[in-house]
Amino acid sequence: MRTTTDVRPFHRIAVLTSIKIVDQITRDDLHHATPCAGWDLGDLLAHMTVQHRGFAAAARGAGADLAVWDVDTVSEAVAVSPAATYAAAARDVVDAFAADGTMEAKFALPEFGPDVVVPGALAMGFHFIDYVVHGWDVARSIDVDFQLPADVIAAAEPIAFAVPDDASRRTPRSPFRTALDSPRGSSRLDRILAHLGRSPAWVPRPVRCA
């Protein structure tokens, strides 16, 4: 994937929208299932929170430190105060990306592999598409509406479809599952979700009492 487009205006909207969705979560919701196989909502929020911290650190030249990507550093705070913990990390990454020079900066992203360093424009594109999708994941988990402006979805579409649908999707560390077919007439967002391995028709499973 290559991009020189400045996605920051669209990224900001996607991340701030995710804050509004997460703000509706309580601690009692953290056991909810999510569209991310194997993760409940608490797991997903911890992942999202630490990814914000990691990308913020990368934007500031400190992404090579594996500690900033360690989900254990945020799990307890997310469990105690999910909305506030998430919002602080989300606002921090928006601020970090807004700094001068981040488009041309080199972002160390060790989660992608040892010594992986990518241009800032590309790294911010990765983060942008992740939070379009993860915003939807959270909204579906708590069964609330998910809306992004048309220009944000349009900006996300080419980035999403640049993600190859290959064997890497089947590895445990892959952020996306194998692509699904999109019915004719699907919306742009639904096509993005399907290409990145989500069923737009996914609904929360009912909670069964023991």
CATH number where 102 lies:
1.20.120.450
Measured in whole angstroms, the distance separating CA 119 from the mean position of its chain's CA atoms is 19
- Domain-embedded: residue 29: yes
What is the extent of the structural domain holding 64? Answer: 8-151
Residue 60 carries which side chain, given as an amino acid letter?
R
pTM for the whole thing? Answer: 0.91
- Domain-embedded: residue 111: yes
Domain count of the chain? Answer: 1
- Domain-embedded: residue 79: yes
Which sign, positive or negative, has the C-alpha torsion 87, 89, 92, 96? negative
- Domain-embedded: residue 137: yes
pLDDT tens per residue, range 2-47: 556 899 999 999 999 999 999 999 999 999 999 988 899 999 999 9
- Domain-embedded: residue 193: no
- Number of helical H runs and strand E runs in the chain: 7, 2
pLDDT tens per residue, range 112-160: 888 999 999 999 999 999 999 999 999 999 999 999 999 999 999 999 9
